[in-house]
Chain A
Amino acid sequence: MEKDYIHIILADDDEDDRMFFTDAFDELKMKTKVQTFNDGVELMNYLMTENAVLPHVLFLDLNMPKKNGIECLHEIKANKRFDDIAIAIYSTSSSEEHIEETFVNGANIYIKKPNDFNTLKKVLSDVVTINWQYHTSGLNKDNFLLRM
């Protein structure tokens, strides 16, 4: 982790969830820079700008207005520029089949939004840590699948 900051982006239309997210990272002792966006359109606009600082991990809520998580996922996976981004689907519960679908569509991580703050902190910490391992240890990003 050294002096590099881990860049994290969250796209979620729910104000409270954004707050939980940023608070959790605030309390975690990790060198992270967190950005949040209110919906898919804002997110994609940001990502597509030329000098955008691309995140190491991108957390996508599924149910967003204007452009939902799955649409963003497809757009991101279709663009070579975003190949290095680990994409985490951050959502309320889904069926088993649906979760597998998101993996098949290119998501690396699936996180079911926890209902306890401490659990949230642990989950986010684990995700970032594991992702960092992939980043630093030359592990195969294509096989990076994580479900929490």
Chain B
Amino acid sequence: MKAFLKFDYNLLTKKILEDKLTSFGYKFSILGFGEIEFYENVPEDKIEELREEFLEYGITIIENQKSVLVQKIKDAIHEMVYGEEILNVKVSVYLAEKLNHSYGYLSNLFSDITFTSIENYVIIQKIEFAKQLILNNKLSLTEIAFRLNYSSVAHLSTQFKNTTGITPSAFQRIISKRREKKQ
């Protein structure tokens, strides 16, 4: 028997954080954008403990300032791509405004740390979302293209193929065959 799930990652992460931090003992507040504020100073070893625990859930406590900013960029991009409103803003404008830095600076920083450009990262996220939507089976390719702000299905297909090396239809075929095999 199968049950189909949909994940609300925001809620998921928030809940885990809340549970973990509550049992951690220190007063805290979740600020969003992956920021937590502790109302008291937490000793190093305790932070290490928390870090270990968080790692189990795939949550990393970022040390580096630069890494923090990079993570913020990633989060912002994530929001932009997965947000309900269709992105009609230019990425550069959006990020610069949201994070209060020039796009040039953000761009360089991002490339230094991640070895990828922001543009590339956006594309990766869009294609990732496209994959989810394709597998969800509720929207047609045209609708998906529209949702992700591509000018046409062909444009989406081209970018999909450029990024993954296979066509959206081949992708769908392979994943469904994989699922059949598991049965």
Contact = CB atoms under 8 A, between A and B. Distances in A.
How big is the A interface, by class? 20 to 34
Interface residue range, chain B: 20 to 34
A100 B131 CA distance: 17
Given A2-B67, A100-B170, A143-B128, A136 B114 contact: yes
A132 B178 contact: no
Nearest to B70: A136
B131 A104 contact: no
Nearest to A112: B165
B115 A143 contact: no
A103 B174 contact: yes
A136 B113 CA distance: 12
Nearest to B124: A133
Contacts of A146: 164-165
The secondary structure that dominates the B interface is helix
Nearest to A147: B165
Contact of A140 (B121, B132, B164): B132
B124 A106 contact: no
**Residue with the greatest number of chain A CB neighbours at <10 A, chosen from B116, B135, B174:** B174
Contacts of A145: 164-166, 171, 174
Given A143-B128, A145-B166, A104 B177 contact: yes
A138 B124 CA distance: 12
17 contacts: A1-B114, A100-B170, A100-B174, A100-B177, A104-B177, A105-B181, A130-B124, A133-B114, A137-B125, A138-B58, A143-B128, A143-B132, A143-B175, A145-B164, A145-B166, A147-B165, A147-B166
Interface of B: 58, 64, 67, 74, 113-116, 121, 124-125, 128, 131-132, 135, 164-166, 170-171, 173-175, 177-178, 181
